[in-house]
Amino acid sequence: MISLYRNILKLHRRVLPQEMQQLGDSYTKSEFKAHKTAKIGQVKEFVRQWKEYMYTLEIQAKQGKLGRELDESKIEVLNEEQREKLSQLKEEAYKAGGGMSGLRE
């Protein structure tokens, strides 16, 4: 998992504006730290999701469009803690993006 973590941070440095890089790095660090003691099934899904994130970010960077719509069906399955974290992340991304410049809601 350490190599995945490092690769994500390298990707952030390469493709994200500085403000978004700081936000992305902070969020990544927090999530990896929180999953240090996760069960193997959770770790597998965690790694899969982060690999998908890297792939998506690479594609978006090549297209010059960072961000994407979050499908309503995905929001519906989130628990309260996850919804709160999503709301906080959206707020921080909005601030880091200077009012959504370069970001899509």
Domain span including residue 77: 2-96
Q: Is residue 102 part of a domain?
A: no
The predicted model scores a pTM of 0.75
- The alpha carbon dihedral of 38, 41, 45, 51 has a sign of positive
What is the structure's pLDDT at 98? 58
What are 43-71's pLDDT values in tens digits? 999 999 999 999 999 999 999 988 878 88
Q: Is residue 23 part of a domain?
A: yes
Helix orientation angle between 80-96 and 18-34, rounded to the nearest 10 degrees: 160
Q: Is residue 104 part of a domain?
A: no
Q: Is residue 103 part of a domain?
A: no
Per-residue pLDDT of the chain in tens (105 residues, 90 and over written 9): 899 999 999 999 999 988 889 989 999 999 999 999 999 999 999 999 999 999 999 999 999 988 878 888 888 998 998 899 888 888 887 776 655 444 444
Structure tokens at 80: 């309260």
Number of domains in the chain: 1
Q: Is residue 54 part of a domain?
A: yes
Q: Is residue 69 part of a domain?
A: yes
- Which amino acid is residue 12, in one-letter code? H
Q: Is residue 57 part of a domain?
A: yes
